[in-house]
Amino acid sequence: MSVTFKKVSSFNRGILLELLSDAYSYDPRYERGSISDWQACDNFFFENIQIADKCAFITTLNDEPIGFVVWDPRNMPKYAEIGHNCIASRYKGKGYGKIQLQEAVNRIIQHDVKKIIVTTNDDLNPAQRMYESVGFTMYKKRKNQNNADFVNEHIDYVYFINS
């Protein structure tokens, strides 16, 4: 089983939306509340493919796309912010998310950033454990201000790069 990381431009538009939909398919509330954001993500990266190929990658297993991660470089070198980071449902719990996250951290570090930040939800315990296992530390918890959303709190994590 061979894990590789491929450029977003190697795939067709819609792959990011498809992977997000699959990754969160266990709870339909995620898709109901996030589908427009997921579609906007897919649109942005395929309309700006040069950014996608620098600030995102798709993780494949034996050439099958199983996940992806994107990050926002606009505040570099002060910090980079990881955005969407997902693994398809049938590949969860097998270590691929950690491998993918470590690859993203390694790529971001190449740009001499001081820290990497990421936010997850209070109900996503496996994501919390994964971030902590790679070296992120919880920075703060924030109440969700969106009343229409079912998530109670957002958790901000930070990864400090030793200079």
Encode pLDDT of 7-64 as tens digits.
Answer: 999 999 999 999 999 999 988 888 888 899 999 999 999 999 999 999 999 999 999 9
Enumerate the domain spans of the chain: 3-160
Tell me the whole-structure pTM to 2 decimals.
0.92
Beta-carbon contacts of 132 under 8 Å, excluding residues fewer than 6 positions away, are: 138, 157
Question: What pLDDT is stored for residue 92 in this prediction?
Answer: 94
Reduced 3-state DSSP string for the chain? CCEEEECHHHCCCCHHHHHHHHHCCCCHHHHHHHHHHHHHHHHHHHHCHHHHHHHEEEEEECCEEEEEEEEECCCCCCCEEEEEEEECHHHCCCCHHHHHHHHHHHHHHCCCCCEEEEEEECCCHHHHHHHHHHCCEEEEEEECCCCCCCCCEEEEEEEECCC
Strand 115-121 relative to strand 80-87, pairing: parallel
* Percent above pLDDT 70 for the chain: 93
Decide if pLDDT at 79 tops 70. yes
CB 120 within 8 A of CB 128: yes
Place domain 3-160 in its CATH homologous superfamily. Gcn5-related N-acetyltransferase (GNAT) (3.40.630.30)
